[in-house]
Amino acid sequence: MILILLGPPGAGKGTQAQRLQDKHGLIQLSTGDMLRAAVAAGTEIGLEAKKVMDRGELVSDEIMTGIISDRLDQPDCKNGVILDGFPRTEAQAAALDEMLAAKGLVLDAVIEMKTDDDILVERITGRYTCATCGTGYHDIFLKPAVEGVCDKCGGTEFKRRSDDNADTVVSRLKAYHDQTAPLLPYYQGKGVLKQVDGMADIDVVTQEMEAALQSI
Ligand code: ADP
Ligand code: ADP
Ligand code: ZN
C-alpha cells in the first residue's frame, strides 16, 4: 500500500504516520526526518538543505525526488509506505506518478489532515521528540506517561527542531498554501483524496485514519 499524508506543518502527519507504521507495518517515509539526518551527518545534501530549512522554504524538487526514489527501492518498503512530507509541490507529485509507474507501484490514497492555521503555531512550538527512538510528543497535547521518560523506549533525552519557532512557521505555512495545497485538487481529480479532521484529539484522528484506510 502507498499512502500520502497531506497537511500543513503541525497538522499531525508524523504522529499519525508513526501509529500507522506500528499498527500496519507500513514504513513511514518522512522527508523532513531524512533531511535532518543528512544535516546531522554533514553530507553535501544536508549542508545545502539546512540553509533552506532554517528559512522555512522548500528544498529543491530534484533533491527530494531523488531521495524518495532511492528510498522506495530499499527492500523494507516492499510491504508499503506512508509518505509523510512528500510530495510538497506539483513537480514532486508529477515525478512521483512517473516513478511509481516505472517501479510498477500504485498510489492507494492521499489523506488530507484538515486543520485551521491558527492552531499550528501552538502545535509546532510545543513539539519535541525522543532523541533515542524518534517518538513524537507535545508539551501540552501529548506528554509521556512519566515526565521526562519516553513511553516507547524509556529514553530520557529529548530534542526540539531548530526550525520549530514562530518565525519560521509563517514561511512554512506560506510554502504550504502556495506550493502544496494545489495538490489537493490534483489528487481529488484522480479520485484518491480522503479527508480527516486534523483538529480533533489525537486518538480521534487515529480512528478517522483507520476508517479512511478501511474504505480503500
Ligand atoms: P506534522 O508531522 O504534520 O508536522 P506532528 O505530527 O509532528 O505534525 O504534530 C505536531 C505537534 O502537534 C506534535 O507535538 C504532536 O504531538 C502534536 N499533535 C499532533 N496531532 C495533534 C492533535 N490532533 N491534537 C493536538 N496535538 C497534536
Ligand atoms: P513539517 O511537517 O513540520 O512541515 P517536515 O519535517 O516535513 O516539517 O519538513 C521540514 C523541512 O524540510 C521543510 O520546511 C522543508 O524545508 C524541508 N522538506 C521536507 N520535505 C520536503 C519536500 N518534500 N520538498 C521540499 N522540502 C522539504
Ligand atoms: Zn524513545
128-185, pLDDT tens digit by residue? 999 999 999 999 999 999 999 999 999 999 999 999 998 899 999 999 999 999 999 9
Ligand nearest to the CA of 68: 2
What is the layout of strands, in order, in the sheet containing 81-84? 27-30, 81-84, 2-6, 109-114, 193-197
- 71 included as an active-site residue: no
Neighbours of 104 (CB within 10 A): 6
Tell me the β-bridge partners of 129.
Answer: 136, 159
Using a pLDDT cut of 90, give the percent of the chain over it: 98
- 88 included as an active-site residue: yes
The finding on whether 8 has its CB within 6 A of some atom of ligand 2 is no
Per the residue annotation, which of 36, 88, 123, 194 is the catalytic one?
Answer: 88
> How far does residue 73's CA lie from ligand 2's centre (Å)?
21
Which residue type sits at 185? Answer: P
> How far does residue 35's CA lie from ligand 2's centre (Å)?
8
What confidence score (pLDDT) does residue 65 get?
A: 98
Q: Where are the alpha helices (DSSP H) in 104-178?
A: 120-125, 166-175
Atom of ligand 2 nearest to the CA of 89: 24
Rounded-to-integer distance, Cα 180 and Cα 89, Å: 5
What confidence score (pLDDT) does residue 144 get?
A: 98
Nearest CA to ligand 1 atom 6: 12
Helix or strand (DSSP H, E) at 50: helix 44-54
| DSSP reduced 3-state for 45 | helix
Per the residue annotation, which of 13, 36, 123, 194 is the catalytic one?
Answer: 13
Which residue in this structure is represented by grid cell 519516553? Answer: 150
The finding on whether 52 has its CB within 6 A of some atom of ligand 2 is yes
Residue 207 has φ and ψ, to the nearest 5°, of -65, -40
Question: CB of 160 within 8 A of CB of 128?
Answer: yes
Label the pairing between strands 2-6 and 81-84.
parallel
Confidence of residue 49 (pLDDT cuts 50, 70, 90): very high
Confidence of residue 13 (pLDDT cuts 50, 70, 90): very high
Each residue's pLDDT tens digit, 107-117: 999 999 999 99
What confidence score (pLDDT) does residue 19 get?
A: 96
Rounded-to-integer distance, Cα 111 and Cα 213, Å: 9
Confidence of residue 11 (pLDDT cuts 50, 70, 90): very high
H helix count then E strand count, the chain = 9, 8
Tell me the β-bridge partners of 128.
Answer: 137
> How far does residue 136's CA lie from ligand 2's centre (Å)?
16
> How far does residue 138's CA lie from ligand 1's centre (Å)?
7
Pocket of ligand 1 (CB under 6 A): 7, 9-15, 123, 126-127, 136-138, 141-142, 200-202, 205
What confidence score (pLDDT) does residue 159 get?
A: 97
Question: What is the pTM for the complete model shown?
Answer: 0.97
Each residue's pLDDT tens digit, 65-100: 999 999 999 999 998 999 999 999 999 999 999 999
- 172 included as an active-site residue: yes
| DSSP reduced 3-state for 27 | strand
Which residue in this structure is represented by grid cell 525526488? Answer: 65
